Structure 1
Amino acid sequence: MKSLKWTRFDTRWVLSLFGTAVGAGILYLPIKAGVGGIFPVLVMACVIFPMVFLSHRALSCFVLQASGDDQDITCAAEEYFGRKISLFIAVLYFFAIFPICLAYCVGITNTFESFIYNQFLPLLNVDSVFAQWLSSIYQINIDVNGKKIIALSPFYRAILVFVLVSIFMFIMLFSEEIITKICEWLVYPLCIILFSFSLYLIPHWSFDFTTIPNTKEFLTIIWLTLPVLVFSFNHSPAISTFSLNVKKEYATIYEKKTSRILLATSSMLLVFVMFFVISCVLSLSAEEFADARAQNIPILSFFANKFENPWIVYSSPIIAFLAISSSFFGHYFGAREGAYGIVRKTCKLFGDKEPNLKLIRLISGFVMYGVMLFVAFYNPSVLGFIENLGGPIIAAILFIMPIISIYVVSKLKKFQNKFLDAFVFIAGILTIVTVIYTF
């Protein structure tokens, strides 16, 4: 019997789960969280830790108690609730992940669009033909607040979207193992750079606390930020693989081990993510956060346009590109498998016991590719995607489903803790109903 002593296996999984969570979400969280100043953010830091730890632990238990050694979330759902309900859960899971891919396509396009105009164009000779042409393909728009939004003309944005999304999809043709290793390699230097960026902002911190929201505004800001918080701390795409690996490594003590590893991951995420958010919030005003949202760009691209420091100016868009890219690849794997699973389950429900898997992959891939091209060109709000689709649906899968299962599935009832379960369930409901408020 293995002991509960911490091992390299545990450390490796903490870093892996941490890398799954930390990606592009952290680049948009400050924009949403910062509108009310620092005090709501401090309360968010206190609330998000138990939300993240307890919900992911419940989802891990959901997977671990399923029969077999290769079960994922949708397979476990089929065992507990039957094929029809599992199909509904599979659809939910797909729509929790695929909109994130869409948001990343928008984000990467806008990051490049901003970089070309604000960082690359100033390096060129203003009298050169190329510089004049590059400047001419941008147009100035005025938003509802009277602010100037500089963006590519529709034709050239369509070209940029086609090139970037096509590159993403081409990379996805390589083996999953190669892409996963590249993404894991990118995560750790990315985290170091982001932490260094948080430290760099300290001299720019402003401690002007004269503007504090009233109680109603204070609570509303926290509530409406929940979807983005959940999104930014979410590492549920890796929970199935993590849980099954821990079960194989620790055959008799896997439940305690999963809990300890998830606790360490949640603690690490709390320190890293919230330090970055706090540093950003103390460095910008509410008006600047609103401006960043109107431009629909990551917070690092906004800082690149604000500061004159060359390191910030040129590294920030690159960091944003790496963060969005690594997150896209990880989430696209889940979205792709989710799409395949939905089609397979649907075919089986209608009597086709052996559907053509190659045809399913081909059609699903082209449909997803077409949707990503259209959405990236249309340029909807990235935060809108997270607030209205990604965050609430993730909450349904991560907060609601496992807690309901604990009270209706006999083999899960041993995990009941009414006080903590109520906290997780209420947090999930509050996250979901933000959609009603925003509409």
Structure 2
Amino acid sequence: MGDGISHAKHPKFDKDDLIWTLSLFGTAIGAGVLFLPINAGVGGLIPLLVVLFLAFPMTFLAHRGLCRFVLGSDKPADDITFVAETYFGKGGGFLVTLLYFFAILPILLVYSANLTTTLSEFFIHQLGLEAPNRLISSFLIVGILMLVSISGSSIVTKAMSLLVFPFIIILMVIACFLIPHWNGAIFENISFVSLFSSQENRQSMIVTLWLVVPVLVFSFNHSPIISSLACHCKEKYRHYAEPKSSQIIGYAVALMVVVVMFFVFSCALCLTPEDFATAKTQNVNILTYIANKFPEATFLAYVSPIVALIAMSKSFLGHYLGSAEGLNGILYKVSNGKLQGKFAHTITAVITFLIAWFVAYKNPSVIGIIESIGGPVLAVLLFLMPAYAIYKFDVLKKYRNKWTDIFVVIMGLIGISAAIKGLL
């Protein structure tokens, strides 16, 4: 990106780096990918093309910025919560830690509740059985995922990378299966003159493009695992931590964009904008809608919940790494350093398990609202905070690049404003 950083010859891309690349993909691409074609496709071809062109630069630059924020301290143990205190002092560091935790935990809770619901619906609709007892099924789902989560970041990343492969294969198979159903409906009535011919058309297109930005931000968001990646690279690569972490983020985002956008466009090309509007009204995911529309694709009704279960499980694991970092940081700061290490990790695991199990069991109606509140906070931490820090602190001066930084800040502000509008 031409930002004046010395990229000396750094270590080769190895198996460990591949596992981290897949873990970043796994954290970002959750069940939301099954709703992305609907959210992006409602506005027709133009929003889809905007998503296609913005997806890589927006996602890569924002996450690289957050990673560099953590790399500002070369101590491997200094995660985002400790680095924030180094930059912003005790009060500011605690505020960042608090925001970080409350931006990630709600997403973890949403996955807990949705996993339990998806499993129940799979039993009822696909297997023709009674729904399992929600208290027991939520306990087992959250319990199993928590056992994997607390077994160490290396086990978590390996588990996630194993789950990613079947997920990518299933998405690619579905996208290829839909090719015979492609039609030109999405290309009809596409005229840039007509799009901007009247004030009403102009306003409609601007609003559509504005609202597609937060969808894009959160569809490719893997910020909960970035701090863990930075700590891993500091420990393993030391002086090469920055170019190596940037390489891993770059490969992960490229993989996300190729896989997800091929899937999104394949869905978009076999449906019409009216279909997307109907799917949005029915509040069903794209695979369920396609299974209902094409009788020969009924197998998708069976595949859909399996894809969702795999997607949410791996995203749960990635979000736990960030959530645990945040809660560990809060415990450390509140206790003046008395609660740390294994004891703090145990408390964090127990608290997270109890909250996630309760939410998964109760499935409260406010769960979507909680997630929406986390959205703008996450965008502030991902887009604005690193950009501010790069210009505020000399230790990060080497990362300054006026044009990419302006782009990230503008996209962040658009994402935050649209997310707040969605919340209101």
Same fold (TM over 0.5): yes
CA positional deviation for 1:431? 0.7
- Spell out, residue by residue over 1:314-358, the C-alpha distance to the aligned partner (whole angstroms, 9 max, x if none): 22221221111221232234324423432442343xxx8458845
* Distance verdict in 2 for CA 1:107–1:420, change over 3 Å: same
**Closer, same or farther in 2 for the Cα pair 1:160/1:202, shift >3 Å?**
farther
Identify if the C-alpha distance between structure 1 residues 313 and 377 changes in structure 2 by more than 3 Å, giving closer, same or farther.
same
Does 2:183 correspond to 1:210? no
* Worse-matched range after superposition: 302-311 or 93-102: 302-311
SS at match of 1:393: helix
**2:399 aligned with 1:415, yes or no?**
yes
Q: Where does residue 165 of structure 2 map in the other structure?
A: 188
Tell me the residue number matched to 2:206.
219
Q: Provide, for residues 16-41 of structure 1, a one-character-per-residue CA deviation record: whole Å limited to 9, x for no partner.
A: 32233222232222221121122211
Q: Counterpart of 2:223? A: 236
Contact 1:110/1:297 (8 A) holds in 2: no
Q: Does the aligned pair in 1 maintain the 2:375–2:419 contact within 8 Å?
A: no
* Match in the other structure for 2:97: 90
Residue 270 of structure 2: SS of its match in structure 1?
coil
In the alignment, is the contact (CA less than 8 A) between 2:109 and 2:356 conserved in 1? no
- 1:395 aligned partner, one-letter code: A
Match of 2:252 in 1: 265
Aligned to 1:79: 86
Q: 1:15 to 1:359 in 2, by over 3 A?
A: closer
Q: Where do 5+ consecutive residues of structure 2 fail to align?
A: 1-6, 196-200
Q: Please name the residue that 2:233 is paired with.
A: 246
Number of the residue aligned with 2:318: 330
- RMSD value, Cα: 2.9
The CA deviation at 1:436 is 3.3
C-alpha distance in 2, partners of 1:364/1:235?
Answer: 20
The structure 1 residue matched to 2:141, chosen from 168, 175, 199, is: 168
Alpha-carbon offset, residue 50 of structure 1: 1.0
Corresponding residue for residue 437 of structure 1: 421
Percent identity over the alignment is 41
- Residue identity opposite 1:88 in structure 2: L
Does structure 1 conserve the Cα–Cα contact (< 8 Å) formed by 2:228 and 2:321? no
Task: Specify every segment of 5 or more residues in structure 1 that has no aligned partner in the other structure, as ranges.
Answer: 122-129, 135-155
Q: CA deviation at 1:372?
A: 4.0
Partners of 1:106 and 1:296 in 2: how far apart?
Answer: 17
**CA distance in 2 between partners of 1:99 and 1:412 (Å):** 31
Which residue does the alignment assign to 2:410?
426
How far is 1:216 from its partner?
Answer: 2.4
Task: Provide TM-score, normalisation by structure 1.
Answer: 0.80
Residue identity in the other structure for 2:389: S
> What is the rounded CA distance, in whole Å, between the counterparts of 2:249 and 2:383 in structure 1?
15
> Could you say which residue in structure 1 is the equivalent of 2:32?
25
For 1:176, the aligned partner's letter is S
- For residues 29 and 196 of structure 1, the distance between their equivalents in structure 2, rounded to whole angstroms, comes to 18
Q: TM-score w.r.t. structure 2 length?
A: 0.83
Residue 291 (structure 1) shift: 4.3
Alignment pair present for 1:319 and 2:307: yes
Would you say the 8 A contact 1:14–1:261 is kept in 2? yes
